[in-house]
Chain A
Amino acid sequence: MHETSLAEKIVETALEVARENGAKRVSRLNLLLGELAGVEVETLAFAFQVACNETAAQGCQLQVERVSGRFKCWTCANERGGDLYDLCPSCGNPGGDILAGREFRIISVDVDHDTGPEGTSEP
């Protein structure tokens, strides 16, 4: 539900990176998104396109790499996948540290130094 404000934050960062690097356009944004991050990817993608409109990131492609949850059992330290809520397959106890799955990180952005297919490149 907070995908709109998150999308705005992401686009803001991408535009900042483009500015800092003297680029004209942001063409692609590569995002790492854990399955436990509480972010719905389709909603984020839609909000992202909206947030890009009328900016230097208009039409920017959003590339999302998902990260599955990984947990370390509190009882026997066994590492497992699955859901947070699952019992440990090794000792049968609930609960564990979250090792992976909460990631929500901008990995990189692809920027163009010209203004795109119809644009004119600067000398």
Chain B
Amino acid sequence: MSTEIKVEEDVLSLNRKNASDNRDYFARLGVYVLNLMSGPGAGKTTLLERTAEVMGKRLRMAVIAGDLETSRDADRLAKFGVPVVQVNTKGSCHMEAHQVARVAKGFDLQNLDLLIVENVGNMVCPAEFDLGETDRVMVLSCTEGHDKPGKYPLMFRESRLLLLNKIDLLPYVYFDVNAAITDARAVNPGMEVIQVSATKGDGLPAWFDWIAQRVKQVRGR
């Protein structure tokens, strides 16, 4: 004899609650939190190396690096003197809010302006998992193709800024910058775009200023 029991429970509700707790906590302490998302190989870690090198001197910053395995990203970033913690998701394709909460406690958050979470390289799953960040930033590199905003609209819809990376390679690859931006803005009209090359340095000052301005806005609230 079987009985049906009503549950009506959102499967992701626990993550949403954890994310909301994180958001309140970070806001209370005045920490600006960036969730940096992209597919694998878009250049997130190189971008973070340059960012840590410059912004680590301008602001008090820390990084949480998410990956399936290894501490390679954290090792690369630790050289620049900013506190870095690696989270290995062990096969899971995205980071969850409770992982951020657990790791963030290890930083001196009271004395932090900027916390960057480098999400696991993946264009689908991280979009569904709120971490309690202040802003989401999407990195798309021109070697991935300009069709990506159209194919993975949710990810682009949720981001405040699009960093178009590896623009030094534009002469060598087929990538229509305008098409990529048009498609991204079709799902997210307010999306800001900065074109950069993390390896060559193009556009990076604009990215650094963008961060500084957002930190100021958030801390000024």
A1: contacting residue among B93, B154, B185, B189, CB under 8 A: B93
Is A79 part of the binding interface, using a Cβ–Cβ cutoff of 8 Å?
no
Cα distance A45–B1 in the bound complex, in angstroms: 24
Chain A residues within 8 Å of chain B by Cβ, number: 35
Map CB proximity to A onto B166-201 as digits: 1 under 8 Å, 0 otherwise.
000000000000000001011111000000000000
Given contacts A6-B11, A38-B125, contact A112 B6 (CB under 8 A): no
Task: Count chain B CB atoms within 10 A of each CB in A2, A37, A84, A107 and give the residue with the most.
Answer: A2
Task: Say if the beta carbon of B39 comes within 8 Å of chain A.
Answer: no
- Tell me if B124 counts as interface (CB < 8 A to partner A): yes
* Residues on the A chain within 8 Å of B124, using CB: 1, 38
B125 close to A1 (CB less than 8 A): yes
Chain B residues within an 8 Å CB radius of A9:
11, 14
Query: Which 8 interchain pairs have the tightest Cβ spacing?
Result: A94-B186, A1-B93, A106-B7, A2-B125, A104-B11, A110-B2, A84-B153, A38-B128
* Partner-A contacts on B (CB < 8 A): 1-12, 14, 91-94, 122, 124-125, 127-128, 150, 153-154, 157, 183, 185-189
* Other-chain residue from A74, A85, A109, A114 in contact with B4 (beta carbon distance below 8 A): A109
Contact (Cβ within 8 A) B3 A23: yes
B92 in complex: contacting residue of A5, A87, A104, A107, CB < 8 Å: A5
A105 touches B9 (CB 8 A): yes
Q: Which of B1, B7, B153 contacts A114 (CB 8 A)?
A: B1
Q: Which of A4, A13, A17, A85 contacts B186 (CB 8 A)?
A: A85
Whether A95 sits at the interface, judged by CB under 8 Å, is yes
A76-123 interface with B by 8 A CB criterion: 84-85, 87, 94-95, 104-114
Tell me if A64 is interfacial: C-beta within 8 Å of chain B: no
User: Closest B-chain residue to A114, C-beta based?
Assistant: B1
